[in-house]
Amino acid sequence: MSNPVILDGSLTWPEIAAVAGGAKLQLSDDAWCRIERAREITEALVANGIRGYGINTGVGALCDVVIDESQQKALSRNILLSHACGVGEPLGRAETRAVMAAQIANFAHGYSGVRRETVEGLLALLNADLLPVIPSRGSVGYLTHAAAIGTVLIGEGKVRHAGTTMSGKDALHRVGLQSLVPLAKEGLSLVNGTPCATGLASLALARMAGLLEWADAAAALTYESLGAQVDPFAAMPLALRKSSGLQTVGTNLRRWLEGSERLKQSAGSRTQDPLSLRAVPQIHGAVRDAFTQVAEVVDRELSSVTDNPVVAGTASAPEVHSQAHAVGAALGLAMDSLAVAAAELAAISERRIDRLVNPLVSGLPAFLAAENGVCSGFMIVQYTAAALVAENRRLAAPASLDGGITSALQEDILTHATPAADKALSIIDNLATVLAIELLAAAQAFDMQPQTLPAAAATSVLQDRIRSRAPYYRDDRPLNALVLDVKELVSASLPRIDLG
């Protein structure tokens, strides 16, 4: 069991990803104090009749309708139920946990005004792995996803646990809680902010981080079979290009290929290699630079208050401020950027796959087939990679520009941060599959080399890891099963290059 994540100030994307993976979440005493202080301010706002959006007014285009104190509980409950209108397949376990962790982290900043009991309910469900069923479609930002979580706290909705589904009320009973009656502002706060986008974005970053390493490993294994330079990624010429991502890739490639006698034998057979081989540092490096920029945005969002309105001041001098902090423009743009970067990484991988299987350029048996003519080998799985790359191009269209008008012109610009994160996750999943195909093809090419000279020590270790999952292919089994086996390896671990 991993160590719990302690929420004191702000969480980071790796911490959200750790909770998504199953780590428990704990709040510090200071975090609980911030939550309690914000609730005292909210109650003072209600007691003093200070108008606040969603506290004692309607929401959306109904923001100027004042709600009497006797109806504020009903307002909060109705917000949760009416906003729980998502459709489609539910989010997965990791995605749901990521969103819940980000939601709790947002409340812990101490500006939302929900009760301690409300956060305790969310925390108890999360740590018990009693996860609300969150429909994945129907949100332009955050409302429907978050409402599916909030309805569970009031005993409605559905919850999944260990393969079973139960009512929200039964899930609460399992952790010793009763259904909550949401008080003023709690209904709005439970559907508000950017936790849906930040949670999914954190998960996307975690999955992408591992694939960055596997992409370098796959490229190195491919290069050893197809490359024509003895020192293709030398440090001095690469240092002339100012990019930390490029330098990291160059270092990785040199470590993977160090001591390869196979490359020494092929050295000088071409003046320079094709771009899908030669430009690996430049393209993989640019993707890493984009990743770093996106990670900074996500961490900045996690350290920010994204509720509307925010409560501030003190219980004796309460303040409420209607801003637009729930708008996730920064996250939408960042996730669109990550989606394009992941699509680019898959595109260059597919080009290397084509060179491995294409007898016109590979110098290897056609389509890496064990027997020419009788076997098709890797001919059609390259089609699969091409299809996924084409799908990525379609998915990479920017969600942040989709626009739209909702709530009778009151909400007349939409930035689609949650859909941007969702489609980035889809592209990253496709990337993992394409890299698995490249690793399979590169492993086949590794075994088909006509020379008997030794490969690099690191690529030999990598070859053994692939072969532990996927034997040499002779058209003797469905190839997609092997792709899934290697994809599982890619998704669950990092490539090992430490030979010490």
- Separation CA 88–CA 131 (nearest Å): 17
CA atoms in the 13 A half-sphere facing the CB of 367: 17
- Separation CA 113–CA 344 (nearest Å): 43
Distant-in-sequence, close-in-space partners of 80: CB < 8 Å, separation ≥ 6:
147, 150, 151, 154, 156, 182, 187, 190, 191
Nearest by Cα to 4 from 22, 24, 20? 24
Distant-in-sequence, close-in-space partners of 225: CB < 8 Å, separation ≥ 6:
262, 356, 362, 364, 442, 445, 446, 449
Nearest by Cα to 145 from 179, 98, 213, 180? 98
Provide the angle, in degrees to the nearest 10, between the axes of the packed helices 329-357 and 195-226.
20
The full DSSP string for 58-86 is -SGGGTT-B--GGGHHHHHHHHHHHH---
SS3 content of the chain, % helix, strand, coil (to 5): 60, 5, 35
Is residue 416 within 8 Å of residue 332, measured between CB atoms? yes
Residue 53 annotated to the active site: yes
Cβ neighbour number for residue 258 with a 10 Å cutoff: 14
At 95, list the tokens.
């995605």
Q: Which of 53, 142, 223, 473 is catalytic?
A: 53
Q: How far is CA 486 from CA 56, 405, 472, in A?
A: 55, 44, 13
At 191, list the tokens.
């559907």
What residues are labeled active site? 53
